[in-house]
Chain A
């Protein structure tokens, strides 16, 4: 299996299937008979917000830079990384797509494509709250808040999320690079089919149809939710939130119906109705109360 060379963004709002997509790709690329170790994926292509990559390319101590000075350097950093690639590189990113005042995209202009994963924002609210060990109300407030950031950490810069609708629009409506939209719910319902379509979008080439089917079904099996949970139960998972019991918690769609109050559902739908309708997420509050 061969991917065209170049950088691909694996973009999403948090808790929308980005980690799962990386595990699928890693299993596909490894082609091994056993599942990839979730704590040691062979796909080591990093995240857009990693300080280490930035420092390696700029030869600077990023902790000496103010946030706007980091942003000013980011387009050149991302382009420098993408320019030297002779193979495919998949870089995870939670930032919204944005531009500097001079018009340069903050994530640079050299990536060749993006996979953009979306998930029902009501399920994101539940999953994100568990991940952050926070309340549903505060998590919903963040989903709805323009200019929202994920705070900087020990090894990464702050990530510009914006509110959920602005995040979705920033990626789907930008005209700088081609984007393949993947709904988390579709990936759950038909993992092989949706994964295969995203590989076709990325120009993956297989020797023949049988090899393609075999490689995809093996990757899907090795990245099955039960396998991910099994590994996490045995050895833990480094992406787990500090106060979270399990990262791979439920992974199902529609859990919001059991967790969120009617008022909480209304808050999300009120803020994001148009974008939810655009993506095919049916509103529960039709004006006559929650269905």
Chain B
């Protein structure tokens, strides 16, 4: 039975467990798009088309099995079943349900899902920051929120098409996940909402500028205005923003897919190619190369604000 209802990446999610880092939606809701349930899941899938350490993918299912944590099964983009390891707290597995599994659900539903964090300006233009884990996507998003932009999404960015055919992204509905050094540097201690998982050092952070303040509200998508691929350069010390050619943009978007191996295996039965083509034809994709380190963050933020002045409104 669904005890809780949430809105995540534009989807109504019914859950038997209270999900961390996301606020429940109050009041009666329409039929959920996705259900999160406590159910036994199989040891292995019958006919996997792709697999890796701890996971298998078949035509309808994605199975994740983590020793000491539990099994998780995503089916048809509609259900995520969680089978906690014996003697463990189901809540301990929820970061993986909300991370890898929810990303796979978005892929199973045919979406283009980028590994990126996003913010939007007062005009509702959304900017996505992609890059490898540890490069500072969440920290940059948090710093930009500190400078007056609005938080849109952390780590997972679901792209779809508006009726006019232009790409839009959905506010994720979830909080930021930050490490202690970023929380301290950005003076966000008052926004802290508890540990993401015990023993890993990351905390949920209520965004300094919540999505409810966006011009069109949290339940509507935002016009995608630019994609940035983050790189660090500790040798030159300069911030360099370069626009990619259409072919480079398509390659970069593929490279920045969320859960790339699963995404690639599903490419033929999704709209990823059409969505990638739409992004490439409507949205500029840039590489953003900057000096690493929290002490350089303010400079990157001001460089980005200057860059947005030059983009079409």
Residues of A bordering B, CB below 8 Å: 39, 51-52, 55-66, 69, 72-73, 76-77, 80, 153-155, 235-236, 238
Contacts and interface: CB of A to CB of B under 8 A. Distances in A.
B12 to A, nearest CB: 24
- Majority SS of interface residues in chain B? loop
Nearest to B262: A59
Interface of B: 52-55, 64, 66-69, 95-96, 99-100, 132-136, 155, 179, 196-197, 199-200, 202, 234-235, 259-262, 292
A56 B100 CA distance: 12
Contact of B68 (A59, A61, A69): A69
Contacts of A77: 53
B234 A238 contact: yes
A155 B136 CA distance: 11
Contact of B52 (A62, A69, A80, A153): A80
B52 A57 contact: yes
- Majority SS of interface residues in chain A? helix
B200 A80 contact: no
Given A51-B134, A60-B66, 11 more contacts: A57-B53, A57-B261, A58-B53, A59-B55, A60-B96, A66-B199, A66-B200, A73-B67, A80-B52, A80-B53, A155-B134
13 contacts: A56-B260, A59-B262, A60-B100, A61-B95, A63-B202, A66-B199, A72-B67, A76-B53, A153-B134, A155-B132, A155-B134, A235-B235, A238-B234
A64 B196 contact: yes
Nearest to B68: A69
Contacts of A80: 52-53
Nearest to B233: A238
Contacts of A57: 52-53, 261
Contacts of B67: 69, 72-73
Nearest to B104: A59
A52 B53 contact: no
Contact of B133 (A55, A76, A236): A55
Contacts of B133: 51-52, 55, 61-63, 155
Q: Which one of A55, A63, A236 has the highest number of Cβ atoms from chain B below 10 Å of its Cβ?
A: A63
Contact of A58 (B54, B179, B234, B292): B54
Question: Sorted from nearest, which 7 A-B pairs have the closest CB atoms?
Answer: A76-B53, A154-B134, A236-B235, A66-B199, A59-B259, A64-B95, A155-B134
A72 B68 CA distance: 10
B69 A69 contact: yes
B55 A58 contact: yes
